[in-house]
Copies of this chain bind each other. A is one copy, B any other.
Amino acid sequence: MIKVRLFEDKDWPAVWHIVEPVFRAGETYAFSRDISEEDAYKAWVSIPKATYVAVDQDDVILGTYYIKPNQPGQGDHICNCGYIVAESARGRGIASAMCEQSQRQAIAQGFRAMQYNLVVSTNSGAVRLWKKLGFAVVGTIPEAFRHPTHGYVDAFVMYKRLTGESLP
């Protein structure tokens, strides 16, 4: 059983343990590969509007996501989220669970749509999952991501309009 709940500050060491290897690998997120723990906290917790964790029945943290307006002012009705699942917990539907919960949260918070700005084209598992969950590719940015092994690769802008009916 996976539950998604609000992040609390005591969760940070576990969250950092999950997100650090993903940032260091530099294959899916455009954070600096040598980002400090302090800057990672800022990016994942302080700047976003809210941060969540996916936990098992023993409250062990298996994944995390943030939600924030994708733009300020006249663009703040579309939200942006980022999701990371612990390496040891992949393939268990945790990304799906977090994405679905984030859509419900987004609607509750008054957002009209969700946008991912930089889905790395080589991250085919993510692209497939977001499509399955109702996102469409609305843009392709040529060579937007410097992949450590594949070099410059395209990135997708993905988008989903949010309404109560479209939720899984």
CB pair A29–B73 under 8 Å, yes or no, is yes
| CB of A81, distance to nearest CB on chain B (Å) | 15
CB pair B113–A30 under 8 Å, yes or no, is no
Copies of this chain, whole number = 2
A144: B residues at CB distance < 8 A: 71, 75, 78, 113, 115
Mark A137-152 against chain B: 1 for CB-CB distance below 8 A, else 0: 0111111111110001
CB pair A75–B139 under 8 Å, yes or no, is no
Q: Does A65 contact B (CB under 8 A)?
A: no
CB pair A142–B113 under 8 Å, yes or no, is yes
Q: How far is the CA of A147 from the CA of B33 in the complex (A)?
A: 37
Most B Cβ at <10 Å: residue of A74, A138, A140, A147 = A74
Q: How far is the CA of A33 from the CA of B115 in the complex (A)?
A: 22
Report which A residues bind B (CB closer than 8 A): 23, 26, 29-33, 35, 71-78, 112-113, 115, 117-118, 138-148, 152, 155, 157, 159, 161
11 further contact pairs, Cβ within 8 A, besides A75-B145, A115-B144, A138-B142: A29-B74, A30-B72, A30-B74, A30-B75, A30-B76, A32-B72, A33-B73, A75-B146, A75-B155, A78-B144, A117-B117
